A and B are shown apart, each in its own frame.
Chain A
């Protein structure tokens, strides 16, 4: 598979995943770029994997784990545009009719994103793979080399945590 096809078919999903993981655009751009360049070095494996997206995302995860200190350092040296400014507004969270509901919906989405970001990588990465990269449990298990049951359990834990947060939020606005 050549670079044009890879970028066209999987660029958006992989980029979305990188954005969530890296938390800011500059780091996400780097991670995205490195992921594809690394993937191109491994062309044969991509073809053999029969799941190019899963393969690309697993490369992004590996690079992220090895590079996160570097990213963190750069972020401290040159604070960048907040991720929420970059993508928060573009996500169609507000499809409810009244202005108040729109605000609440937006707040809830932002709350989810913020809280998801606070999760440990063990929960956060499968969560983003599932909801952001649109991967199946089977593909996540294969990419992370863990049993499907473990993926389900981590997703379940992540959902539970986010559900608690959301319920707390609902209680807060109702009181």
Chain B
């Protein structure tokens, strides 16, 4: 087939003539308008006072008393029911601060339960049992998060991006996070500090496993911001991250853990396998359900000579192996960590009616990874 012909076919097949419906565009426009009108008015207060307090008080004692309480934040956002919930015994007041990069991140409090909020959303309608957390983000130097000279920082601060997400110990952060847990947030800027109220499916069911709350600059959760330890399930901040970030341990009541419910919840996210060994869809073989002893299944399999090749790498640290339309990509460093020099490890196995195929990797003394494919007839 000629390249030109292929190009034409691909263009025809993959281009799209479908336009978004007018209704859909209207929803977006309305939501933009709603966000603008719902944004609480920014009141200017003595920034110098806050700056002084930050200067004097460091570490976890960061001037949390100067900041709004979760109840006040809920009130600012116009959610009276939630404000009441944050005032109840069920709510946990935390007030812990971490300074990272140019920012001080404070976790104020958290509460969970059914129908706690006045506001309706599709996620809340489907799963009314929610967790709400209030965090604040302030500039480390005490200046306003809004641009200097701005009377109302509500427009200017939007140049900054922050992500707040619960993470579950034992679950890969890029798989189980605010996005997958039906999360959302609303926020306001008060006295130069951003207050963000995040909500997601109730995380108390995971209380016995360990739950974190990540707060940081950026838009997404990925391996640039946090590390995940495959063996222990621990999640830690990536020290090499260019983003500022904090990872809080949430002091949830272990008695509220519900192992069965948590398993069921995770099973819905990972139906193909048990939650603890759920396969990665981030194309990382190293993240894949670790190395299983498949040697018995592969007994008698033959290495395809032409499949033996060095993996290719890109500058983002991803390596790539492909043979006969079977491809695999993974984080190079993660893979190097688990490979033993000179030993082949099976990273993927697949079978159909006729044959079993496996991809194996090995590394040499110079940390060059070689891939190969094995085949065995059934």
Distance of A83 from chain B, by nearest CB (Å):
10
B105 at the interface (CB under 8 A from A): no
B356 at the interface (CB under 8 A from A): no
In chain B, positions 1-40 with a C-beta closer than 8 Å to chain A are: 1, 6, 9-20, 24-25, 27-29, 31-32, 35
- The answer to whether A90 touches B13, judged by C-beta atoms less than 8 angstroms apart, is no
The number of residues on chain B lying at the interface, defined by a beta carbon within 8 Å of a beta carbon of chain A, is 55
A134-175 CB mask vs B (1 if < 8 Å, else 0) is 100000000001110010010001010111101100100000
A1 at the interface (CB under 8 A from B): no
Q: Tell me whether A16 and B269 are in contact in the complex, defined as CB-CB below 8 angstroms, given that A44-B158, A70-B180, A93-B12 are known contacts.
A: no
B327 at the interface (CB under 8 A from A): yes
B264-294 CB mask vs A (1 if < 8 Å, else 0) is 0000111100000000011100000000000
Distance of B66 from chain A, by nearest CB (Å):
27
- The answer to whether A11 touches B12, judged by C-beta atoms less than 8 angstroms apart, is no
B221 at the interface (CB under 8 A from A): yes
Distance of A149 from chain B, by nearest CB (Å):
9
Contact partner, B9, options A40, A42, A166, Cβ 8 Å: A166
Distance of B28 from chain A, by nearest CB (Å):
5
Stretch binding the partner chain, chosen from B79-87, B207-215, B316-324 = B316-324
- The answer to whether A33 touches B28, judged by C-beta atoms less than 8 angstroms apart, is yes
A82 at the interface (CB under 8 A from B): no
Alpha-carbon gap, A17 to B175, bound state (A): 22
Alpha-carbon gap, A147 to B325, bound state (A): 23
- The answer to whether B283 touches A38, judged by C-beta atoms less than 8 angstroms apart, is no
For B220, list chain A residues within 8 Å (CB): 62-63, 65-66
Q: Tell me whether A32 and B175 are in contact in the complex, defined as CB-CB below 8 angstroms, given that A93-B13, A109-B9, A161-B325 are known contacts.
A: no
- The answer to whether B32 touches A131, judged by C-beta atoms less than 8 angstroms apart, is no
- The answer to whether A109 touches B13, judged by C-beta atoms less than 8 angstroms apart, is yes
- The answer to whether B10 touches A3, judged by C-beta atoms less than 8 angstroms apart, is no
- The answer to whether B11 touches A122, judged by C-beta atoms less than 8 angstroms apart, is no
For A32, list chain B residues within 8 Å (CB): 20, 24
Contact partner, A36, options B11, B28, B282, Cβ 8 Å: B28
A56 at the interface (CB under 8 A from B): no
Contact partner, A132, options B14, B269, B283, B314, Cβ 8 Å: B14
B306 at the interface (CB under 8 A from A): no
In chain A, positions 14-49 with a C-beta closer than 8 Å to chain B are: 15-17, 19-20, 29, 32-33, 36-38, 40-45
Distance of B377 from chain A, by nearest CB (Å):
21
For B329, list chain A residues within 8 Å (CB): 120, 122
B131 at the interface (CB under 8 A from A): no
- The answer to whether A112 touches B177, judged by C-beta atoms less than 8 angstroms apart, is no
For A121, list chain B residues within 8 Å (CB): 283
Q: Tell me whether A150 and B314 are in contact in the complex, defined as CB-CB below 8 angstroms, given that A15-B19, A68-B281 are known contacts.
A: yes
Alpha-carbon gap, A110 to B17, bound state (A): 15
A73 at the interface (CB under 8 A from B): yes
In chain B, positions 305-334 with a C-beta closer than 8 Å to chain A are: 312, 314-316, 318, 320, 322, 325, 327-329
- The answer to whether B24 touches A33, judged by C-beta atoms less than 8 angstroms apart, is yes
- The answer to whether B158 touches A113, judged by C-beta atoms less than 8 angstroms apart, is no
- The answer to whether B174 touches A66, judged by C-beta atoms less than 8 angstroms apart, is yes
B45 at the interface (CB under 8 A from A): no
Distance of A103 from chain B, by nearest CB (Å):
15
- The answer to whether B318 touches A15, judged by C-beta atoms less than 8 angstroms apart, is no
In chain A, positions 93-110 with a C-beta closer than 8 Å to chain B are: 93, 108-110
Q: Tell me whether A131 and B11 are in contact in the complex, defined as CB-CB below 8 angstroms, given that A70-B179, A87-B16, A166-B6 are known contacts.
A: yes
Alpha-carbon gap, A73 to B281, bound state (A): 13
- The answer to whether A15 touches B31, judged by C-beta atoms less than 8 angstroms apart, is no
Alpha-carbon gap, A4 to B31, bound state (A): 13
- The answer to whether A20 touches B14, judged by C-beta atoms less than 8 angstroms apart, is yes
A57 at the interface (CB under 8 A from B): no
- The answer to whether A91 touches B16, judged by C-beta atoms less than 8 angstroms apart, is yes
For B159, list chain A residues within 8 Å (CB): 42, 44-45
Q: 10 tightest CB-CB pairs across the interface, nearest first?
A: A16-B16, A131-B14, A112-B13, A109-B13, A66-B179, A15-B20, A67-B179, A44-B159, A69-B180, A70-B180
Chosen A-B contacts, 17 in total, with CB atoms closer than 8 Å, are A7-B20, A12-B16, A12-B20, A15-B20, A16-B17, A20-B14, A32-B24, A37-B31, A37-B32, A77-B268, A86-B18, A93-B12, A113-B13, A120-B329, A132-B14, A146-B315, A164-B325
* Chain A residues near B (Cβ < 8 Å): 3-4, 7, 11-12, 15-17, 19-20, 29, 32-33, 36-38, 40-45, 59, 62-63, 65-70, 72-73, 76-77, 86-87, 90-93, 108-110, 112-113, 116, 119-123, 127-128, 131-132, 134, 145-147, 150, 153, 157, 159, 161-164, 166-167, 170
* Chain B residues near A (Cβ < 8 Å): 1, 6, 9-20, 24-25, 27-29, 31-32, 35, 158-159, 161, 174-177, 179-182, 219-222, 268-271, 281-283, 312, 314-316, 318, 320, 322, 325, 327-329
Extra A-B contacts (11), CB below 8 Å, given A72-B269, A116-B13: A29-B20, A42-B161, A68-B281, A91-B15, A91-B17, A93-B12, A109-B13, A120-B283, A127-B14, A128-B14, A150-B315
